[in-house]
Amino acid sequence: MKAVCWQGIGQIGVETVPDPQILNPRDAIIKVTSTAICGSDLHLYGGYVPTMYKGDILGHEFMGEVVEVGPGVTNLSVGDRVVVPFPISCGNCYFCEKELYSLCENSNPNAHLAEKMWGHSPAGIFGYSHITGGYAGGQAEYVRVPFADVGPLKVPDSLDDEKVLFLTDVLPTGYMAAEACDIKPGDTVAVWGCGPVGLFAVQSAKLLGASLVIAIDRFPERLGKATQAGADITLDYEEVNVLETLRELTGGRGPDSCIDAVGLEAHMHGATHVYDRVKQAMRMESDRPGALREAIIACRNGGVVSVPGVYGGFIDKVPFGSIVNKALTIKSGQTHVHRYMRPLLERIEKGEIDPSFIITHRLRLDEAPLGYEVFRNKEDECVKVVMKPGMDQPVAHVH
């Protein structure tokens, strides 16, 4: 089969590899019909996540058709159309029983690596480095799905791929980030970053009853999509002073909740940006926390800073004094996707959410190298790339 492989920092290639096999009783094999490039795949592309090896198959946002099931999978049949959560969860351990699926204790075969880095291991993740299991990902024609009796959710044929694909990651991730804010009527929520996760955080914050949602980015097309997602106000941080503007908009108090949907490759201005780039380049700091710092400083006393953005290692000059003295709550975590897929699917079926508005590029699988480049460079107003492995003919790029 064809698969999108990591071939080094900044190098993506489509290689012909063996088809995946059932390796454990609870496995299934999925024929992938749609797969997306995630913003967090760009961290792998840029070499910011350790334990990547040449030949690793990428991709953790994918859906498709069941073509084979192991003897331990009784709830799926060949031919079922399913979306697959990006964390791999056993459904049996202490954390899975508490619906904290991204903390599954049993799905990471390389848990010892994660324990060295983080103290404890999270769940295994498809196509996301060996520290989270080294699982072959879903940017391929076929993919092996472990614990297939727990993760994959059947979707009705009435909804096409583009409406349900983002149940695998970015929609629940944005939703969980907003849910973590414990939004009350009258609340103001500020969202840093209007990529897919930020956009769904904006949309979810509105759904959960926020009175004022402020979206922050620097690309007009992304700010435009934020408005489409329901943002009341958009801020271009190249045009305005974000901290001052947020204070003005909230009568000096600051937003009740601040969501960092940017993560470890934050783009900032001036000296701090140079400082973080240099430290990151010298491997003295693994992550650049510009958005996080600003979110902490902006947040009102006693507020919530919610962090769906991905951080992998160590960050510098985080104003922890602000967290303590303003009594902030920090919420984060890889998304417990399994917990959100069903209720969000219902909202999609009812027409309350149509996640497909974020898609800007539709490509064939073998166009993946182009997709990664365009997405990383935010060229061509790119917000979300979806690849269709079954698609043979080139398709006009649609905005």
Partner 1 sequence: MSTEPFETSTNLRPSSESAQYASPYTAYSEWSEGAEPEAEFESEPKIQPQQLSNFLGWFSIGLGLAEILAPRALGRAIGVGEHPGVMRALGVREIVSGLGLLSQRGTQAWAWSRVGGDAMDLALLGAAARRPDADPQRIAMAATAVVGVTALDIYASREIGQAEMPAQDEVISHSLAINSTPEALYTFWRNVENLPRFMGHLESVTSTGDRTSHWIARAPAGMSVEWDAEIVRDDPNEGLSWQTVEGSEIQHQGIVRFEPARSGRGTIVRVELRYVPPAGKVGVQFARILGEEPKVQIKDDLRRLKQLIETGEVATTRGQPSGRRSLIGRTTLGGRVQ
What is the binding site for partner 1 (CB under 8 A)?
Answer: 1, 3, 5-7, 13, 15, 17-21, 23-26, 51, 53-57, 72, 90-94, 97, 105-113, 124, 130, 133-136, 144, 146-147
What is the closest distance, in whole angstroms, from the C-beta atom of residue 75 to partner 1 in the complex?
A: 15
Please name every residue paired with 385 in a beta bridge, in sequence order, or none if there are none.
Answer: 37, 361
What is the closest distance, in whole angstroms, from the C-beta atom of residue 116 to partner 1 in the complex?
A: 11
Per the CB < 8 A criterion, the answer to whether 97 and 175 are in contact is no
CA dihedral 41→42→43→47, nearest 10 degrees, is: 110
What is the closest distance, in whole angstroms, from the C-beta atom of residue 19 to partner 1 in the complex?
A: 7
Q: Which is nearer to partner 1, 29 or 155 (CB)?
A: 29
Q: Which is nearer to partner 1, 87 or 195 (CB)?
A: 87
Q: Which is nearer to partner 1, 96 or 231 (CB)?
A: 96
Residue 137 CA, chain-centre distance (Å), reads 14
Per the CB < 8 A criterion, the answer to whether 311 and 39 are in contact is no
Q: Which is nearer to partner 1, 24 or 325 (CB)?
A: 24
DSSP state, residue 300: P
Phi/psi at 62 (5° precision)? -155, 160
What does 313-367 look like in DSSP terms, one character per residue?
S------HHHHHHTT-EEEE-S--HHHHHHHHHHHHHTTS--GGGG--EEE-GGG
Burial call 300-326: b when 16+ CB within 10 Å, e when fewer: beebbbbbbbbbbeebbeeeeeeeeeb
What is the closest distance, in whole angstroms, from the C-beta atom of residue 108 to partner 1 in the complex?
A: 7
What is the closest distance, in whole angstroms, from the C-beta atom of residue 121 to partner 1 in the complex?
A: 10
What is the closest distance, in whole angstroms, from the C-beta atom of residue 124 to partner 1 in the complex?
A: 7
Q: Which is nearer to partner 1, 127 or 308 (CB)?
A: 127
Q: Which is nearer to partner 1, 16 or 393 (CB)?
A: 16
Residue 8 parent element (H or E) = strand 2-8
Q: Which is nearer to partner 1, 145 or 159 (CB)?
A: 145
What is the closest distance, in whole angstroms, from the C-beta atom of residue 88 to partner 1 in the complex?
A: 8
